[in-house]
Structure 1
Amino acid sequence: MTLQTQLVLRVLLEDPEGQHYGLEIAKSAGLASGSLYPILARLEQAGWVESHWEVIDQKAAGRPRRRYYCLTRDGAVQARQALAETFERLAPRGRLFGNGSPGVVTP
């Protein structure tokens, strides 16, 4: 699993039952749309994410409709597990992280 995919999953897991649109995910993950949409497409093909188009009057809203993405129930479980496995591989026996939390480095 690529770092970019992990970033997308972390954003989606911040609100696992929420509806997230592409620009929101891209900004939160720090990714360009050219990187984001192929990741979302792969996650959708894998069954981790579902998507749907917003139903709005684009003229009245003054903007194009958005495509919303949300984690499936199984996708949320698998995403948490995949991120935990990645963390375990990168921080064996807590050597990289002082208290077992991502981002806390022990000198």
Structure 2
Amino acid sequence: MAKITYIEHDGTEHVQEVRNGLTVMEGARDNGIPGIEADCGGACACSTCHVYVHPDWVDRLPPREPMEEDMLDFAYEPDPARSRLTCQLKVSDALDGLVVQMPEKQI
């Protein structure tokens, strides 16, 4: 399990333990955390699970795959360094302590 902090755009924090093998998106969805819509259900076919990864975590995550890079073009105000799609981040013990912040809105 990994403890993940989800921060809403308004600063409200949600700290959740998420089972290994799930995605960061599924952890938000399963725990009713607002701000991650995940319209495509995790198929990397939309950008509605977009977040900004805390700067301390950017280099600790696996690199973006080309499909994620393409979908981030459709995200609301993507940050070239910090934006990720939570459906593409698989939870493991290595993600314990991850902090992500939701954008103002998802498109």
Q: Same fold (TM over 0.5)?
A: no
**Which of the two has greater helix per residue?**
1
**Which of the two has greater strand per residue?**
2
